[in-house]
Structures are given as structure tokens and as C-alpha cells.
Structure 1
Amino acid sequence: MARVVVDVPLAHLDRPFDYAVPEKLAGTVQAGCRVRVRFHGRLVDGVVWELGDTTDFPGSLQPLSHVPSGEPVLTPQVARLVRTVADRYAGTATDVLRLALPPRRGAAEKRPTPTPDALPGPPDPAGFARYRAGPALLDALADGHPARAVWTALPGGDWPARLVELCRAALSGRRGALVVVPDGKDLDRLAAAAEGLLPEHSWTVLRADDSPEKRYRRFLAASRGAAQVVLGTRAAMFAPVRDLGLVVVWDDGDDLHADERAPYPHARDVLVQRAWLDNCAAVVAGTSRTAEAALLVQSGWAHELVAERAVLRAAAPRVQALGEDAELARDPAARSARLPSLAHEVARRALAADAPVLVQVPRRGYVPSLACARCRAPARCAHCAGPLGISPRPGPGGTRIPACRWCARPAATFDCPHCHGTKLRASVVGESRTAEELARAFPGATVRTSGSTSGVLATVPGGPALVVATPGAEPVAEGGYGAALLLDSWALLGRADLRAGEETLRRWMNAATLVRPASAGGRVIVAADAAHPVVQALVRWDPGWLADRELADRGELGFPPVTRIASVAGSQAALGEFLDALRLPADADLLGPVPERPRPGQEGERERYLVRVPRSEGGALAHALAEVQGVRSAKKSQEHVRVQLDPLDLV
């Protein structure tokens, strides 16, 4: 008898169903293999959750219809994780399995999987000797102890090599390792480090932009136990690593770690759950620190892995804010100018010293956001209410006409619905427009751009050049940047977002860590008020202090991660039906409703409620939400209600 999770996206069917195993398939069916079964008269896909000898079903069992492959792609450890994640996020096992298992490719299953020749020895501890308790962490991993750490990487350090050294330590102790990074650019750097530090065939890379056949082949290398180290982006958090001894998430504050598909799990939280379920080591790492990571330290679940202040000062660049009193006294226009004289002078000196200069701007494009020149209200499309902007590609005759960023309709004329003004102004300047301005300010200098509009550069040469990049697209410069200019800070700090300060510091520090140390002339200029706490954390290079402050503030206000919050969105009628059936925990707060922010292609008005509970009641809240979704599914309710726990965006 086989218990099968069928691929049917209905909440009230979120459980395994028993099927008989025909005698002709008895030698092929294994726990974790893919099957085809009859379900309500249809032939559907499924995965064997487990095999058993007895069933509680009183009638005769339907037989398995077909077994495409006996390959066990779902290990017992991952199956347990799938169930835990589904319960934590009020989702279904079917939804999580779609995230965990890549599509099958028969050709990949027929190919032999190469195995490594031998296990490596322990890594050189010199890289981690710069951190307090760094060598002790490597020893704990080699000995198979479930060490837990929140690691704040030194500026200018080779963090990909350090992560691979953690993997090598686990591998030397005959344990597997899993590392999850935000994007392909980070993954390329990680894979390059692995090539020099790990034995051939002992590791594999899982990335979303690989071909389906290549991705499945690499997935099989892990599930068959050949590759015990898996490096990947978000989807790799469910990778079937054998004898898992270590999980690592790099830059956990990056929103790319949050999956946009139901049940919307976050890689950091999934890996923390994996560490608990498999009793293995875990490292939450980055150049900055999130409030969630601070909570792991404060609760005692993890320990800090940081360097002494003297080591940090020797590695960090000099950081200066344009809003400092001395600078305002010298240049009164520094507070309002986009590129004040100090920033211009620092860039000029770095270029004169044959060093590249990094210029970080918060927005991509040319002029991605426009506003009414009279009342400053955001400019909206008259057809779909989408935001108006100006594309970096000029139109006929070299003109740039404002157009909607949702429906692409041009807005040759504009009439503000608030004040009937007819003129527009740029409210945000993108990297393409910034590159044009810098080319005029520094005639003769080479200007490069790196962002989604122009393409992302992985590296740039070490010669003099201005490199304009959006956050996350900063290329690595050979020998490091001579200076970095962090512009338009108001666009980051002024956002109406719970994580605005934390996210701003993370983006700034990721850019500043690419700059040479102060002893080599490296300087970072941030266009912001020096008294702001986020700016102070950057100047002192102390992300832990800001994370602890954020955590304390959120605790007083009742915001995550001290609490757990669920977002429930839908039409007014559907939400009324949903909330009438919802049995909330006694300590729950119901906040709302508020209009849900319009999404591209969304029809009709939608509202959103927030449900807040103490962190200890998070499981009860998830169970209550899943219960209502199951009832609505059984009733075949027509209108969908979107349920998301721990959303990054609360606005």
C-alpha cells in the first residue's frame, strides 16, 4: 500500500491518500518516487509519501495507474520539512512540493552520477581566525556538532571563500552542507570559490536559470548522495542533501529570499526549521544584520560571529555623511544638492589615483517616477492608474515621452486630478539618467552602468571609471573601489515600510564593503543626515547595534519578528465570509480593513486585513487560517482569498 500526495491544489485535500500497489509495480515503487493515480475520475500526478502495510480506508483501494520512475526524489527528511513548512505558512503540502521538486527529465535519470574520489581535509582556519570563535566554529562543524551562528562578515573580505570553507569543514566530518544566496551573481562567485576548495563532484549548483534537464541532473546528484554540498538560490532551500550537517543563508535580508508563490516561504525561516528538524548546524550570514537574525541571537538559539573592533577598523573604508556639521558649514548646499562638492571631490581624487568609483542609486531606469510639478502628487496613468515614468530608450526624433509603467500607454498630455497642473517633474532619478549627469560632471571619464535596464555587470577592471549601479547590481572591482557615493538616500530612508531602515543599511553596506580599506584610501560618502540612526550605524560600521535597536522598537510596537502577522486579502464579500469562519487565538488582533495596493492586471477593488498574534501563537494562527481555507475549498467558493504569513510588506 502506498500513501500518495496528489497534485491537486485544493486545501481540503491536503493529506495523503492510500492506493494499492499492483504486483507488477511492487519492485519499482519506492517512498518518494513519482506516480500517476486516478483521483475523482481524473489521472493526476502524485508523490509516494510513504509505504505501509495497513490502511484505515474501509473499502477497496484504487491501484496506482503508472509509475513514471522509481527514482526516490523526495527523501524522508525533505518530506518532513515540506509538511512543517506547509503548516507554518498555512499552505498545503502540494504547494510546497511544487517548490521543492523540479520537473522530471527521463534522460537525466538514465545518466550515471559521478562520485567524488575522496573527502577533503579540514579547511585552512586563517580566514576565520579574524573572527572571535571563528576557528571554534570550523572545529564544531568538522566534529558534527549543531553549532548555530549569526555571522557579520568583515568589509572587503572574501565571503564566498569563507562560506565554502564552512562547507569543507562539514564535508571533512562526512556531513553534507547547503548554502542559499539571493541571486545568480552571488552564486557565480560562490561556485568559483568552490572550484578551488572542494573536491570535484562533491558539490553541485542549483539555479533557476539552468535548463530543466541540467537542473534535474544536478538535483539527482544531491538526492543520490553523490554531491553532499549544494549551492543555490532560493529554491535550493529544499535540496535533498544527504547527512545534512550545515545550512547557511547569505544576506538573509534580501527580498529575493522570499518566494512569491504560495505558501510564500522565506529561505531563512525554512533553513532555520531544517536545522531544528535535522539537528544540524546553521549560519545566518551577511555584511549587515536583520531584526530576525538579532532575535536568533537574543533568544540564545545562535551566537554572534563578529570580529574585534580593531580588526574591523583596519578592514573598513572611511565613511562620511554629507549631513555632518563640519561639511554643512563648509558647503551649505550639501543638504539639498544631489552631488555636493565633497562627493565630487572624493570621486575626482579616486579617479586621479587610477581607481574606480562606485555610485549607488536606489532606482533603475531613466526617470522611473514622475510627479505633478505643482502639487507633487504622484503622476498616474489616465487609463489604468499605473505610475508614469520615462524610459531610458528615446522615442522617434530622440524625444522621451512619459509612459505608463504598467500598460505602456504614452502620456503625451497630463492633467493632474488633484490640482489640474499640466507639467511633470522627476520625483526619482534612475541609474541611466545618473550616468548621463556624471558623464557631464566628469568629462572624459569612463562611465559604466549596472542594473536591470542595462544588464548586470559581474566585475569591472581596476582602472579609473565611474560605475553607476542599483542596489544588488554592484559589480566587484579588481583591487576594490577607491570610493563609493551613496546617492538619493531619501528614496530609501523615506519609504513607508517597516524594514526601511534595516533594508537601507543592508544596501549601503553591501556597496561599501566593495571599497578599499581606509588605510588604502578607500572612502564612502553617503548623502544623508549624519544624525540618522541608520547613517550612524554605517559610519561606525555597527549593523548589530541597529538590528538590536530595530528589534526593541518592533517589540514595543508589536511588529514582527516579535509577533507573527498574517495578511488576508480579497474582495469585501469574500473577506467577510472568511472572517466569519475564522477562529482566531484569544490574543489575536485584527487590523483593518484597508484598500489593497493595486497590482498589474488586477480587476475590481480588494481589501486587506492584518491578523497579529504573539510569536508563541503563530502555529495556532496558521492552523486557523488553513482550516478556513479548507472549508472554503470544500464549499467550492469562487472568490480567492490570498493568505500570507510573515509578509515582508505590511503597507
Structure 2
Amino acid sequence: MTSHEAPEAEMLPGLRAAVDDARAKAAATRRRKAASWEPAETDPVARVLVDIALAHLDRPFDYAVPVGMADTAVPGARVKVRFAGQDVDGFLVERASQTDHTGHLQPLRRVVSPEPVLAPEIVRLSETLARRYAGARSDVLRLAVPPRHAAAEKAPSAPAPEAAAPAPTRWAEVAHADAFLRRLAAGDPPRAVWSAAPADDWPAMVAEAVATTYATGRGVLVCVPDGRDVARVDAALTALLGDGHHVCLTADGGPAARYRDFLAVARGARRIVVGTRSAAFAPVHDLGLVVLWDDGDDLHAEPRAPYPHTREVLVLRAEQQGTAALFGAIARTAETQQLLTTGWAHELAVPREVLRRRVRVEAVPAEDRSVGTRIPRAAYDAVRRGLDVGPVLVQTPRAGYAASLACDTCRAPARCTVCTGPLAVAGPTVPPHCRWCGHVESAWACPTCGGRGLRAPVRGEARTAEELGRMFPGTTVRSSSGDRVLDRVGPTGDLVVATVGAEPVADDGYAAVVVLDTWLTLARDDLRAAEEALRRWLNAAALVRPGGHVVAVGDPAHPALQALVRWDPAGFARRETDERSQAHLPPAARIATVTGDLGALDDVLHLLDLPDGAEVLGPVAVDAPPPSAPAAPAGAVEHRVLLRVPRAAGQELSQALGDLQRIRSARKLDPVRIQVDPPTL
């Protein structure tokens, strides 16, 4: 026997002891691991919503809770689980003592964070919205819960200071507002649709309603269209309640600040939330009031699946959580009018005599060219008189200089010689260029009459400011549009030219407001063209000071302009609702669109089990290329099918579309885009 073949009995004693020690440690480690994966003694089953947007997998899955995670795996926490052979994110929505699963439950991989960021009421809301919009709950939860920021979770959320309950003073002239506020103060859940009047300080009025609810110990959620409105409501709440009582949930502060403020709400340290559409999902503790401002603004329509509208989210939250609701705007949509018609809410508005005292509105035809420009004499006089006492606002629907051009001789549209696209001019000394291909037309000639002169039938805010500067020499002309939006202007006699939505607020209100090119706003090819036009005009006209003058340039006989002159958004909304009901259009009907290639749409129509009375319209091409463009390859052009059912069958349509999505997902068919109640048609 050689030396290297010595038996184990002849090994050195120290080496043998080291081997035995290593084996003992390995066995102890295996025992500890096995013990750590033992199910928890209490509620050992975790129901998890996995972050997978597949319709046929859109349900909670059961996992075992290891004893080592029993304290951190709380409902609402983020977890990692094993799913289809890979680690995926998810939310633990419930702990249970039993499971319907007959096999062995996979354990949770780990608890990403024990912070309960998904509240039970948001879980219920996500399920309802997913059914309502034929989408997936994982998509809804991406809208509801912001991405995690670990450093923000480590910092505590300081509690809000004590706050007094100031008495509401700005609602005195609004009919039935006192009853609404009394019920809020008593802890009741009243619901109202509020039409704000010209010269109303609506952020301050919203702040008073918020403070009335907050004084009862309940939370409030306020949703507005954009960051400028958030800033105004933020300032009003700070002036009324002081610092430290509310948070603003917007993307402007960055992911860390947004998640920190979200955690302050989820922990109950803040019970007042102001934000844009994603704030509608904020987990406000003891929610007592939801407020929505200007539901007709298209920024309230979520552009990501499943495309929920802020108004519908807040309506569902008010119903599920039994809260009060205040839906305010200067204009009124057909949907909020439907809430009044069905008795879901009651109306708040100022009497007619108050309106007549606050504003004077007139509509003048555009054909009056007595002052040599597209601005009629009545508008010119309103601007001149207004500049003597304060700032004047001129609203124009287009930005830029000259958004479209036409032949000065025959009025034929000026088209590009390369691609037949529309020509535009960016400034007074710049040659025309094509808006499609960018080709510069330095020597354009009209193919119809041979003329070389160009005119601008549609003039932008820059060209309008240039014209007004020549008409009122010595006056400061300020522009507000695009990325150069003014927030406020002072009380001096400046002339402000702004595009829609970019109108700055005047400190003391505008002395006069002029609305130009109303025909262009009405020319939109859309179901809501007239409703949206009136909303834009009213929002600008409401910026006048008490006793101000508003002039709209357009056809005085048009119903939308007549509603503006009478300041009657409620009557216009009732008329719109009646006409849409006769035409079987929303909100009297429920509509859904399905978009995809023709083969996918054929599968949809074959698999879809529509309710009785449903209509199928289409398919039609979506955004088809112009005739002069090269032929698109087969399948490159999307088509759309429109499905329409009576309003009473809306839930059945959503259920049918949800079933369709699950079938298509399970069979791995070509994707289609489904949108229930699209904001535009």
C-alpha cells in the first residue's frame, strides 16, 4: 500500500475534525433553510396579482407564505414570485388560511418591500375598472401605484398639523351651495355638478369645500387637468389651511418626490391630495369627498390601456366608498349632464341676474372688416376700451405664424410641389415650407390660376400679435402658447394673445376678452366639436373681471355661440344630450372601438358574443395615407370596428369584450386595441 492510499482511519486528527465541522454547518444551514420555507402558522396563503398583462391570467394566484416572511408579507406589499419559470413582480392583495389549489403551493420568492402601497379600496377599484374598460388589472395598477423609490420608503412621513375650519365665504351667490356645504360639514355624502360663473375664483371655492370636509376628519381628493391648475389649487389650499396639510401628486417633482408624497398619503399622514388624472387612484384615508375640475378637458382621458377617464374613476370611487362628489367646470359636458338627469347629482349654479351683472357677451360676424383686418369693429372697440382700465385677452385657436396658406387670387389651398402637403409660414421673413416633408417653396406658383401671391386664411398667435401691435401702437403685446406659456399677468393695460389652454390668469381679471376665429374651432371633425368649442370659449371668457366685456367673432346664429352669448352651458348640454340620444350616441349609448389589421378584426367579429341590440359599424381604415402617397403594404393600414349598444347594455358589452380578450390572449392571436367609451369619434 502506497503512502497516498492511506486509509481514512490514519488521517490526521485535525483534518478529520475540520471535515466534520463543515458537514455539521452544512446540515445546520439546510435545516434553517427548510425551516424558513415552512408555511407561516397564521394565514399561510398569499393571494398575489402578478404584473403580467395577459387577459387570461388576470386573476390572483395563491402562493405559500414562508414563516420567515410572515411579518413582512402584508396585504398591499410588493413581492417577487415564481411564475411561468421566471421571477416576476406582483402585489400581495390578501392573506388567507386556505386555498382552492389542490397541488403544492409555490412559496413567495421575497418581499420586495413591506410597505403596504396598494390599499384594499384600490384593489376593488382596479377590478371594477378592468371590467368596465375590458382591460387587465395589472395595467390599472400601473396607473395607480407609482414606481418604488427605496430611499423615500426609509424616511418617515411627518403628521399634518392641526387645522381650523374656516367658514366658506365665496359660495354665497351660488344657489343651493349652502345646503351642499352644510351636508359636507355634517359628514354626509352629497353629490353636485357645479357650473362656475365668470369672475369666480374657482380654486379658492374648491379649497373652501375641501376645508369643510377636512374639518370633519375625512380626506379629500382633487383632480384637475394639468400642472397649472394644480399650482392654483395648491396656492389656494395653502392660503386657506397653511402648509403641511396636503400633497400635490404630479410628475414635475421627479420620481423620488412623487413616491414620497404618495407614501405620505398611503400612511395617512396627509389626507388632502391635489393632482392630475393619476391622482384619482390615491389611497386617501377616510375619503369623504372627491372633486373633479373641468371633466371636458381631454387631459382627463388616460392615453394608456385600459384608457379610463378621470370622471368615471371618481364616479366609481364615490359609489364604492360612499363619498361626496363635486364635479365643477365652467362649461358642462353631456356626461355630467347625464349625472344630473339620472339624479346621481344635483346642480349648483349662480342665478341669471348674477350672470348679467358679472359679464356682457356679444357675438359679431367675421365679415365686418371696417377696421381693415380680420378683427371687426366691435372687437376693436372692446380692446381699445379695455386697455384703458386693465389687461385684455385675445384668444386664437392656432399657434405659430401662418398655419395654412392659400392662393391670394383664387383662394385654392397652397400645396407642396413635392408631396402635395399643406404649406405654412413660420415668420414674416421666412419662405413657405411644407408641413409634411419640410420642402421649402421659394418660388411657388398656383397650379390652378398661376398666381404667385399667398394669403393666410388661418393665422396663428404670432401673426395675430403682430397685427394687434400695429393696430395699438405703444401697447405691450404678450404671447402665450406652446412652450412659452405665461402663468399670470399684472393689472396693467397689456394686450395678451394666447392659444387655447395657455391663457394666463390676470391678477384682477381681464377688462375684456376677444375670441377670434370661432369658425376654426367649430370645424373639427368630431362628435364633441361644438361642446369642446364652447368649453374653450367659456374658459377664456370666465377670466374677465366683474362687469367685463366679451366679444366672440363668428356666426351669431350658431347654437354654440348663442350659448356663449346667453352664458348657458347647462342649456347647451341638455340640447347636446337630447340630440345624441336621438342619434344613439354617447352618453345615451355605450360605444367601443376595436382597432387592428383586417385579419384580426375578422377573428374579433367571429369570436365576439355581442348582447342583443348591438350594432357593428365598419371596419373602416384609420389614418389612411393621402391618395398621392405610395401604396402601403398589405396589413400596414389599421382598421377599426365600432360597436354600439344601448346604455342599459353597456355592462354586457364590457363583459363580452373582456371575454374576447381572454380568449385571444389564451390562443395567442394577433393583438387588437380595445377602447370602451373613447373620448373622441
- Give TM-score scaled by structure 1 length: 0.92
Residue 606 (structure 1) aligns with: 638
Give the stretch that moved more between structures: 409-418 or 500-509. 409-418
CA distance in 2, matches of 1:410, 1:591: 42
Residue 434 (structure 2) aligns with: 403
- State the 1:459 CA deviation: 0.1
Equivalent of 1:571 in 597, 615, 625: 597
Give the stretch that moved more between structures: 56-65 or 237-246. 56-65
CA distance in 2, matches of 1:111, 1:36: 23
Residue 273 (structure 2) aligns with: 230
Equivalent of 2:578 in 528, 552, 558: 552
Residue 283 of structure 1: SS of its match in structure 2?
Answer: strand
Residue 322 (structure 1) aligns with: 364
CA distance in 2, matches of 1:144, 1:134: 16
CA distance in 1, matches of 2:616, 2:346: 35
CA distance in 2, matches of 1:73, 1:380: 55
- State the 1:495 CA deviation: 1.9
Equivalent of 1:451 in 481, 487, 492: 481
In structure 2, the CA distance between the partners of 1:172 and 1:613, relative to structure 1 (3 Å rule), is same
Aligned partner of 2:476: which letter?
A: T
- State the 1:428 CA deviation: 2.6
CA distance in 2, matches of 1:420, 1:182: 48
In structure 2, the CA distance between the partners of 1:616 and 1:437, relative to structure 1 (3 Å rule), is same
Equivalent of 1:73 in 98, 103, 117: 117
CA distance in 1, matches of 2:63, 2:446: 64
Equivalent of 1:46 in 90, 93, 103: 90
Residue 478 of structure 2: SS of its match in structure 1?
Answer: strand
Residue 381 of structure 2: SS of its match in structure 1?
Answer: helix
Residue 642 (structure 1) aligns with: 673
Residue 506 (structure 1) aligns with: 535
CA deviation string 1:600-619 (max 9, x = no partner): 9x992111111111111111
Contact 2:306 2:675 in 1 (8 A): yes
| Structure 1 unaligned residues grouped into runs of 5+ | none
In structure 2, the CA distance between the partners of 1:367 and 1:547, relative to structure 1 (3 Å rule), is same
2:260 paired with 1:220: no
- State the 1:597 CA deviation: 2.1
CA distance in 1, matches of 2:624, 2:605: 22
In structure 2, the CA distance between the partners of 1:95 and 1:422, relative to structure 1 (3 Å rule), is farther
Equivalent of 1:343 in 368, 371, 379: 379
2:660 paired with 1:628: yes
Contact 2:58 2:136 in 1 (8 A): yes
Give the stretch that moved more between structures: 335-344 or 542-551. 335-344
| Count of aligned positions | 629
Larger radius of gyration: 2
CA distance in 2, matches of 1:589, 1:575: 15
Contact 1:119 1:174 in 2 (8 A): no
In structure 2, the CA distance between the partners of 1:599 and 1:504, relative to structure 1 (3 Å rule), is farther
- State the 1:649 CA deviation: 1.3
After TM superposition, the structure 1 = structure 2 runs for residues 266-305 of structure 1, keeping only pairs within 5 Å, are: 266-305=309-348
2:68 paired with 1:24: yes
In structure 2, the CA distance between the partners of 1:226 and 1:590, relative to structure 1 (3 Å rule), is same
- State the 1:365 CA deviation: 2.2
Contact 1:151 1:304 in 2 (8 A): yes
Aligned partner of 1:52: which letter?
A: A
After TM superposition, the structure 1 = structure 2 runs for residues 182-581 of structure 1, keeping only pairs within 5 Å, are: 182-315=225-358, 317-323=359-365, 332-333=368-369, 338-351=374-387, 353-370=388-405, 376=412, 379=415, 389-391=424-426, 398-404=429-435, 426-453=456-483, 455-518=484-547, 522-581=548-607
Aligned partner of 1:28: which letter?
A: T
Aligned partner of 1:183: which letter?
A: D
Aligned partner of 1:582: which letter?
A: L
Contact 1:149 1:282 in 2 (8 A): yes
Contact 1:590 1:610 in 2 (8 A): yes
In structure 2, the CA distance between the partners of 1:427 and 1:209, relative to structure 1 (3 Å rule), is farther
Residue 517 of structure 1: SS of its match in structure 2?
Answer: strand
Aligned partner of 2:597: which letter?
A: S
* RMSD, aligned CA: 2.5
CA distance in 2, matches of 1:333, 1:158: 36
CA distance in 2, matches of 1:193, 1:245: 20
CA distance in 2, matches of 1:581, 1:147: 43
- State the 1:486 CA deviation: 0.2
Residue 304 of structure 1: SS of its match in structure 2?
Answer: strand
- State the 1:101 CA deviation: 0.7
Aligned partner of 2:391: which letter?
A: P
2:628 paired with 1:597: no
CA deviation string 1:448-480 (max 9, x = no partner): 111114x11110111111111111110011211
Residue 14 (structure 2) aligns with: none
Residue 544 of structure 2: SS of its match in structure 1?
Answer: coil
2:210 paired with 1:157: no
Contact 1:206 1:233 in 2 (8 A): yes
Residue 79 of structure 1: SS of its match in structure 2?
Answer: helix
CA distance in 1, matches of 2:83, 2:89: 9
Contact 1:564 1:612 in 2 (8 A): yes
Aligned partner of 1:635: which letter?
A: R
Residue 561 of structure 2: SS of its match in structure 1?
Answer: helix
Contact 2:185 2:215 in 1 (8 A): yes
Give the stretch that moved more between structures: 628-637 or 547-556. 628-637
Contact 2:160 2:269 in 1 (8 A): yes
Aligned partner of 2:663: which letter?
A: V
